[in-house]
């Protein structure tokens, strides 16, 4: 509006929500400065009138300007939201870390890769949010170099659990916090 103290340039895109499920993506390949990043995917996928059997996995490929991304998703019955926090402390020297969650879907444990990178100093990784079936086990696998370490959490409706892994290279704390997803 003319004379307004806040200039509104308008939305980036318009979305008409007339579907059962809407997934929005804005994925970029990091090159340093944000303005130098390559646009991989910028858009939405909608699913109308779909019925997904309980706890079955689906995979689709999304083509983008600078590549493609494989997306795997599932409908999880009796789901709770699990927030995974990882704190890395007392780092003695740099190391490569791979972090995966194994969740129970479709009568088997499926792997979700959460993090892969080099750790050079004490830090907290970004939080990871996944949906897991209530009263099942979520197993976390941490690979440090060629060694693997595990911690497991029984999912609950509300609450949290922590486990600590003490290594020569560092101390790694893993915390899982659960909260129930709202029902429609």
pLDDT of residue 20: 64
pLDDT tens for the chain, 184 residues long, are 455 565 555 556 565 556 566 667 777 777 778 788 877 777 777 766 655 555 566 677 777 777 777 776 666 777 788 899 999 999 998 999 999 888 776 667 778 888 999 999 999 998 888 888 888 888 899 999 889 999 998 888 788 899 999 999 999 999 999 887 555 4
User: What pLDDT score was predicted for residue 123?
Assistant: 92
Model pLDDT, residue 70: 75
Distance CA 96, CA 140 (A): 16
Q: Annotate 130-179 with three-state secondary structure.
A: EEEECCCEEEEEEEECCEEEEEEEECCCCEEEEEEEECCCCEEEEEEEEE
- pLDDT at residue number 124: 92
pLDDT recorded at residue 8: 54
Architecture of domain 79-180: Sandwich (2.60)
Confidence at residue 91, expressed as pLDDT on a 0 to 100 scale: 92
CA R_g for the chain: 20
Name which of 144, 156, 99 is nearest 124 in CA terms: 99
Q: Are 122 and 90 in contact (CB under 8 A)?
A: yes
**Can you give the residue ranges of every domain in the chain?**
21-74, 79-180
Q: With 0.75 as the threshold, say if the pTM is over it.
A: no
Per-residue model confidence (pLDDT) at position 52: 57
């Amino acid at each position: 509006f003319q004379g307004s103290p806040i200039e509104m340039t308008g939305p980036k895109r318009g979305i008409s929500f007339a579907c059962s499920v809407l997934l929005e993506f804005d994925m970029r390949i990091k090159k340093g400065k944000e303005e130098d990043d390559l646009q991989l995917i910028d858009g939405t996928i909608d699913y109308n009138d779909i019925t997904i059997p309980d706890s079955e996995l689906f995979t689709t490929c999304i083509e983008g300007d600078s590549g493609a991304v494989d997306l795997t998703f599932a409908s999880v019955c009796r789901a709770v939201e699990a927030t995974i926090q990882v704190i890395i402390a007392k780092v003695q020297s740099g190391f490569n870390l791979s972090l995966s969650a194994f969740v129970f879907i479709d009568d088997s444990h499926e792997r979700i890769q959460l993090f892969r990178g080099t750790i050079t100093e004490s830090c907290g990784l970004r939080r990871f949010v996944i949906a897991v079936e209530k009263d099942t086990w979520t197993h976390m696998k941490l690979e440090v170099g060629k060694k693997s370490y595990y911690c497991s959490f029984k999912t609950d409706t509300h609450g949290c659990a922590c486990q600590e892994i003490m290594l020569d290279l560092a101390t790694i704390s893993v915390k899982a916090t659960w909260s129930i997803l709202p029902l429609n």
